[in-house]
Amino acid sequence: MKWIFNLLKRTFSPLPGPNYLIEFRFHGFARKYLKETIFGLSKKFGVKGVTKKRVVPHVTLFGPFKTKNIKEVVRKIERVSRRYDLVPFTLNGFGHFENKVVFINIKPSDELKSLRKELANFIVDLTQTKGHDFGDNFDFHATIAFKDIQARFDEIWKYLQSMEQKSISQHLLRITILENGKILYEYDLMQRKLLPRAEAKNKQNWKKTISSLKSLLQSGKKWNIPEISETSDKKIFLISDLHLDHTNIIKYCNRPFVSVEEMNQTIVNNWNKTVNDEDTVYFLGDMAFGRGSRKASYWLTQLKGKIVFIEGNHEEIGKVPARERLILKYKDKVFLLIHDPALKPKNWSGWTIHGHKHNNDLKGHPLINPKKKTVNVSAELVNYTPIELDVLLTKVEYATANKQAMQKL
């Protein structure tokens, strides 16, 4: 019964403060078509519901809502959105809610359905909104007339049925967060970053978004992820989550050190005894953490090897060149390298090498999980020492073979 109480509380006890809304906005031909349809209906039938304010053709993803912690809401929106690249959908014909709202149907892709559902699930506990946002039966639509249409609904609907039923394909490029009707932030799926209002409204920035979309479509790749191919003529290592200078990690993860100084020294020594200067190390994030901790740029000067740095979520990296994720091709295998496995692209079905989970969920994220196709190289699981990729491949092949054998029993 607790969920019913929480829903009633969110619905009937309004919070003070601004109103927020999450939506996506149309671009290109679809935007032009929607605006022409909206203004055409308004002029022909004298209905002004949509045109009373500046017309911005859009689809609501969540809200309107209120919250006591918009910063956390924005952080979670960014976290979910980072899992997605190409999110297609189609504008396809007209629909209506009774005789009160007329809209253009949006046929969502599986990616769009999943994105919207994840957004709602991630932020619902931080918000006060209406119950229609919580279910699976979400109606994707773009409103073209409402409020003052009831008296002329039959005429409007007959007119729309006589019009050409256009089918227009689009991609969701940005997720817009509105505060009292004005852009607060936009998350740009193409540029993969959160844009404050000024950057979101910048025309040059929008050109970069469109350019990134075109590049992604032309490349024929499903994900906008850099790829690196490695050969077996050199040693390749992986490790994640050193958390150097982080005193509390000793207690949190039951690390076998009596002090942060001992931990720092042991991890650096382990690394430098294992890795030579000509070797490559893929480091998957969280080099250092904690108040007063030294930046990753400092620690990189203490460690051997050619280090490819994938940024984590708990560190100051300084001016270190870092990537969010990579696809690593080695021998006949392909791996996604990423810090947090929850942020892998939604439709990635291959193997993922990650960190972030430490040793706090060994059932869900052991060293090798053949069911989830994940490899957890958090420092605790590799004895605080970079592990060679060839060793990992052997373990992956063994775990996969055993899984297949168990399935045959």
Q: Which of 343, 372, 216 is nearest to 284 (CA)?
A: 343
Each as own residue / partner, the long-range contacts of residues 104-110 (CB below 8 Å, 24 or more positions apart, any chain) are 104/34, 104/37, 104/141, 104/142, 104/144, 105/140, 105/141, 106/59, 106/140, 106/141, 106/142, 107/140, 108/140
Q: Cis omega (within 30 of 0) on the bond before 57?
A: no
Q: What is the pLDDT of residue 3?
A: 46
Which CATH number is associated with domain 2-219?
A: 3.90.1140.10
Residue 402 has pLDDT above 90, yes or no: no
Which amino acid makes up residue 115? L
pLDDT in tens, 143-161: 999 989 999 999 999 999 9
Residue 363 has pLDDT above 80, yes or no: yes
Q: Are 204 and 352 in contact (CB under 8 A)?
A: no
Q: What is the pLDDT of residue 8?
A: 47
Average pLDDT, integer, range 37-61: 92
Q: What is the pTM of this model?
A: 0.74
Neighbour count for residue 58 (Cβ, 10 Å)? 17
For CATH 3.60.21.10, list the domain ranges present in the chain.
227-408
Which CATH number is associated with domain 227-408?
A: 3.60.21.10
pLDDT in tens, 312-330: 876 667 778 888 899 999 9
For CATH 3.90.1140.10, list the domain ranges present in the chain.
2-219
Residue 133 has pLDDT above 50, yes or no: yes
**Residues 137, 140, 144, 148, Cα dihedral to 10°:** 20
Average pLDDT of the chain is: 89
Residue 346 has pLDDT above 90, yes or no: no
Tell me the pLDDT band of 132, cut-offs 50, 70 and 90.
low
Tell me the pLDDT band of 134, cut-offs 50, 70 and 90.
low
d(CA 271, CA 166) in angstroms, rounded, equals 60
